[in-house]
Amino acid sequence: MAEEFDAVFVGAGHNALAAAVHLASRGWSVGVFEKNDTAGGAARTEEATLPGFRHDLYATNLGLFAGSGFFREHGEALGKHGLAFVPAEDCFASPAPDGSWFGVSKDIEKTVARASSLSPADAERWREMVAGFGADAPHLFALLSAPMGWRHLASLGWRAWRAKGTAGTLEMARFLASSPREFLERNFETPLIRAALGAWGMHLDFAPDVAGGALFPYLEGMVDQTMGMVIGKGGADTIIKAMVARIEELGGSVTTGAEVTEIRNRSGKSDGITLADGRQITARRAVIAGVTPGALVDRLLSGSQGSGQSTFDAGARKFRHGPGTMMVHLALSGLPDWKAGDELKRFLYVHLAPDLDGMARAYAEAMAGLLPRQPLLVVGQQTAVDPSRAPEGQHTLWVQVRMVPGTIKGDAAGTIQATDWSEAGEAYADRVIDLIEDYAPGTKAKILGRYVETPADLERRNPNLVGGDGIGGSHHLSQNFLFRPMPGWARYRTPVKDLYLIGASTWPGGGLGAGSGYILAKDLAGR
């Protein structure tokens, strides 16, 4: 006998869980089906190195989630199921090889003092930028949380024009089209301050000279300065556990170890899914897939004929994924002893990339299929703010390597001959550790355990991470805003009636902000 739900979800990523929570709170029956043994997608926490060391395997920063409309509406209920955040007052820092550094702390006087030691003019510009953020923030956040449609965009543009005038609106439009380098060089004279902010573009796929990338360094810098950062108490999976519990409290179900092999397409209408064990699950009102566009049309839709609408299918198959990511997790006897000083031990993030030119080279090498000679390293010191993640006095280190190729064609340094990640992974992880050692001598001697996931490992664990792409596809202007995931399909609909597509490949893109799931669920529940 088939199971029936109002809404059936393919995959239990955080967007799917957020949508299920919202629909269930509005009286819908929901069933979520996940291939892996745990829910959460890229929000996963495990004792990956040694017992007692809890590592966020992929995503770790919960600032987007804590600031989301979904959390404002459902946060109180989730808190009753154990959701808890830990604030970070010292947010991110970038050291240079000579021992100088710049970092952003929630205390603006600390940030300004660091900037002033490098450039009094940059310190003054920082104050001006923070003071002006209050006027820009409502328009930018409204854009990032709005459904992508001409009517919504026209309304946002009208409001921005009313508030900022013609000159101010044009300046905002220019800013949204700017590359990180253009924006940062217009505003700051110190290379290290530019690098500290420009690194945030690389968290997506915005190398310094890619148009449209200025928004992300600006927003991260200003939000962290005014509000600080947050991570999950005990791990990023705190949001996942709480959402699963809330769904079950509302009468829904989340089934793991249940691979979906087919989304049924009955003459242009979807009415359910088929599981690998043969079970048929019926959807009375909606099938909601948290997968990549290519996987939807080529793997899940009946008969491998795609949606039956040629332009949608062609666009899905040409969807452009971002460059690869590699993760290196360390269990340590103590935090790194940074050459720049012990103050860096308090920061949640330490970026190892001292200038924009180095980031641009690493990006170009990765896009050419080469293992970068010196990639940007995002070093997460979660136990500096949440000691519960490791045994007393010991620490975890979360190292995200940006960027690396999904498929290796060679090594920019000429020392790694392997072109298969199964052979090159540990050797490249050694290079990563050597880079950390350059900035924090003695770190190698503190390593108690190590766990590496290459781009191939990431995709094997989660098929949405194609080639190790951890951001759900390129965010370049040609595949963002109205064009995400492809032109004409930015509102989560597909040509198949009652079939919807959500997740990082759809607007508003990567990160743990629950945006696509919440926007769609509000629309469906409203109808």
Residues 6 or more apart in contact with residue 342 via CB below 8 angstroms: none
Residue range(s) occupied by CATH 3.50.50.60 in the chain = 3-43+64-84+235-319+474-526
pLDDT grade, residue 305 (50/70/90)?
low
CB 59 within 8 A of CB 43: yes
Q: What is the pLDDT of residue 1?
A: 40
Rounded to 5 degrees, φ, ψ at 353 are: -170, 95
pLDDT grade, residue 2 (50/70/90)?
low
Residue range(s) occupied by CATH 3.90.660 in the chain = 323-461
**Would you state the CATH architecture of domain 3-43+64-84+235-319+474-526?**
3-Layer(bba) Sandwich (3.50)
- Structural class in CATH, domain 323-461: alpha beta
Strand partners, 395: 332
Tokens 């089906």 correspond to: 33
End-to-end CA distance of the chain: 29
Q: Of 221, 229, 227, which is closest to residue 62 (Cα–Cα)?
A: 229
pTM to 2 decimals? 0.96
What are the tens digits of pLDDT across the range 199-211? 999 999 999 999 9
Calpha distance 60→253 (Å, rounded): 25
pLDDT grade, residue 303 (50/70/90)?
low
Flag the least confident range among 7-21, 150-164, 413-427: 150-164
Q: Quick check: helix, strand or coil at residue 508?
A: coil
> What sign results for the dihedral spanned by CA atoms 30, 496, 291, 77?
negative
Alpha-carbon distances, residue 508 vs 441, 468, 497 (angstroms): 40, 20, 22
Say what percent of the chain tops pLDDT 70. Answer: 98
What are the tens digits of pLDDT across the range 157-186? 888 888 889 988 888 899 999 999 999 999
Enter the tokens of residue 181. 């380098």
Residue 337, pLDDT above cutoff 50: yes
- Give the CB-side neighbour count of residue 253, counting CA atoms within 13 A: 11
